[in-house]
Amino acid sequence: MLILISCGLFFVTSLALVGLRILRPEARYTWLVAIGGAMFGFVSVFLWLVQLPLNIRLPGIPTLDALNSTLVFTADGISFPFALCIAALTLSILLTAVTQPVYVNSLIWAGTLALGGAGILAVTSNNPLTLLLMWSALDLTELVINLRSVNGASNNERVVISFSTRALGIGFLLWGSMVSISEANTFEFQSMSARAGIFLVIAAGLRLGVLPLHLPYSSESNLRRGFGTAVRLISSASSLILLGRIPVGILSSNLTPFLMILTLIAALYGGWTWLRAPDELNGRPHWVIGIASLAILSALSGNPVGAIAWGCALILVGGALFLASAQNIWLNRIMLIGAFSISALPFSLTASVWTGSLGFFIPFVILAQALMMAGFVRHALRPANRDALDEQPAWMQAVYPSGIILLILIQVLLGFIGWDGASQIGAWLQAIIASFLTFGLVWASRRFRIFNPVRAHWVSSTESRLANLYQGLWSIYRLLGRTSQIITQTLEGEGGIMWTLLFLVLFVSLITQVGP
């Protein structure tokens, strides 16, 4: 019941804020209500450690009984760290909201809490049907939010294409489920067949923008720090959890090397564009692609535990950076702990990420990791156009840093107690090489122009070049659709019978010429 209690606290608080907005629109204590609900929800997730593993089975969809449609939610060593990260992120968003220009918006707080509850349900889903339903709910929510937050027909089209890609990911999840049922007659992640694992990786890659490489959303969206960060990172977490359920036998698939090459390309692209991004918010799509690619590489190398670590790093390290809306030199330096968290150094959050079999991909993986680390250091230390924290009221100066420090403390804590396999030395030699390479990239970024692009419109032009490639493929698809429609209209029109007879005569004549 603890899983439902935790999610219920987020959902009930969200409904309470909506009710206060309707009944008491002038109430001054709505932020305290939001903080209270988020804090209780966060503490309740921590209490899962007392009873792990937790299992809840709910009645499913009667028409799908042949597929064992029971909805199953499980809190174990895989889902617990993700749930804790989502709960901490939700609380941090509300704590750091006090320094934003217009932070008194109870509807945004309600939406953030609801997303937190839905995210916890998604990461605790323990069979494909449960995860499919949670994905669908999150995707529809994100579709509506994105359509309302972007301007222009081209951006709207990109949102719809992104939604279609996510729907295709759901299709691959179902495909993998059918393969597993046909081989092992099971519908739960713990006992899925190894051959089904490759479809789960493709499903996660499609939803994260890695397979094939594409931006899952545009940096031009009006969703910025608080609620925008919740939408981006919680949606990514709901896909990354699938990588932690990948069967270890996935290495035996013939598609694994091909997928690793594609994922490595996405990792290098994401790291390079993240390093050269003008600021952290414009580079947020590339952060998601870069870290998600490293997580997929860990899963493909036979190390799903490493994928869990990268997923937690994406939420915690990225969340601390994206929520930093006030300038404070000491807080910026404390955020550099995030660089340690993604360094894979011993006892760090990601110490277990490279214990799988990477083969000759190791040098390129190290380069991709170093690019992500160097980009994080640049963005954490870069002077931004932010209001100084010292200029805020005293209570804001106390509340705001607590939100950032909370995410940093969880990074350190999960490195020791996060899951089975945490608190280890890991591949320390690779981590040291990546760290030295990071220092070199940070040094070079301050001295060479290639690492410092022109600020104006750079990210937009980079995104547009990638978008143009898929726009061209989309245009070909539409051209084929129009051609098919013209042919259909021609055959169904008044001359359809004559065209049919003509094709029949040509077909018969060809057969007679080929025949003996």
Q: What is the C-alpha separation between 493 and 474, in angstroms, rounded?
A: 28
User: 356 and 417: one domain?
Assistant: yes
User: 249 and 234: one domain?
Assistant: yes
User: 472 and 437: one domain?
Assistant: no
Structure tokens at 274: 């993240």
User: 387 and 416: one domain?
Assistant: yes
Which of 455, 483, 502 is the C-terminal boundary of a domain? 455
**DSSP states of 225-271 as a string?**
SHHHHHHHHHHHHHHHGGGGG--GGGGG-TTHHHHHHHHHHHHHHHH
**DSSP states of 165-231 as a string?**
HHHHHHHHHHHHHHHHHHHH---SGGG--HHHHHHHHHHHHHHHTTTTT--SS-TTSS--SHHHHHH
Contact partners, residue 353, CB within 8 Å, separation at least 6: 294, 298, 303, 306, 309, 310, 344, 426, 427
Torsion angle in degrees (nearest 10) through CA of 122, 407, 81, 168:
30
Q: Is the whole-model pTM more than 0.75?
A: yes
- Select from 158, 164, 271 the least CA-distant residue to 221: 158
Is the peptide bond prior to 216 cis by the omega test (within 30 degrees of 0)?
Answer: no
Residue 68 CB neighbour total at 10 angstroms? 15
pLDDT of residue 514: 47
Q: Can you list the residues of the chain whose pLDDT is less than 70?
A: 59-69, 100-104, 150, 152-155, 184-187, 214-224, 249-252, 383-388, 390, 418-422, 451-516
pLDDT of residue 86: 94
User: 275 and 316: one domain?
Assistant: yes
User: 61 and 181: one domain?
Assistant: yes
pLDDT of residue 409: 92
User: 510 and 364: one domain?
Assistant: no
Work out how many domains the chain is built from and give that number: 2
Which of 415, 432, 455 is the C-terminal boundary of a domain? 455
Contact between residue 161 and residue 474 where contact means Cβ atoms under 8 Å apart: yes
What SS3 state is found at 452?
Answer: coil
Contact between residue 2 and residue 87 where contact means Cβ atoms under 8 Å apart: no
pLDDT of residue 279: 81
User: 353 and 447: one domain?
Assistant: yes
Q: What is the C-alpha separation between 139 and 361, in angstroms, rounded?
A: 33
Q: What is the C-alpha separation between 58 and 299, in angstroms, rounded?
A: 29
Contact between residue 339 and residue 437 where contact means Cβ atoms under 8 Å apart: no
User: 165 and 201: one domain?
Assistant: yes
Residue pointed to by tokens 């036979």: 302
First to last CA, the chain: 77
Q: Which domain holds residue 494?
A: 456-516
Strand partners, 74: 55
Contact between residue 410 and residue 90 where contact means Cβ atoms under 8 Å apart: no
Interval 260-319: pLDDT, tens: 898 999 999 989 988 888 888 888 888 999 999 999 998 888 888 888 899 999 999 999
Pairing of strands 387-388, 326-327: parallel
User: 391 and 491: one domain?
Assistant: no
| Maximum C-alpha span of the chain | 97
Q: From residue 370, how far is each of 40, 178, 290, 318, 347 by CA, in Å?
A: 37, 39, 11, 16, 18
User: 347 and 363: one domain?
Assistant: yes
User: 258 and 358: one domain?
Assistant: yes
Contact between residue 323 and residue 273 where contact means Cβ atoms under 8 Å apart: no
Strand partners, 75: 54
Q: What is the C-alpha separation between 433 and 443, in angstroms, rounded?
A: 16
Which of 455, 486, 502 is the C-terminal boundary of a domain? 455
Interval 220-274: pLDDT, tens: 555 667 788 888 899 999 999 988 888 776 666 778 888 889 899 999 998 998 8
pLDDT of residue 323: 87
The helix-helix angle for 226-240 and 79-96 (nearest 10°) equals: 180
Interval 74-92: pLDDT, tens: 888 888 999 999 999 999 9
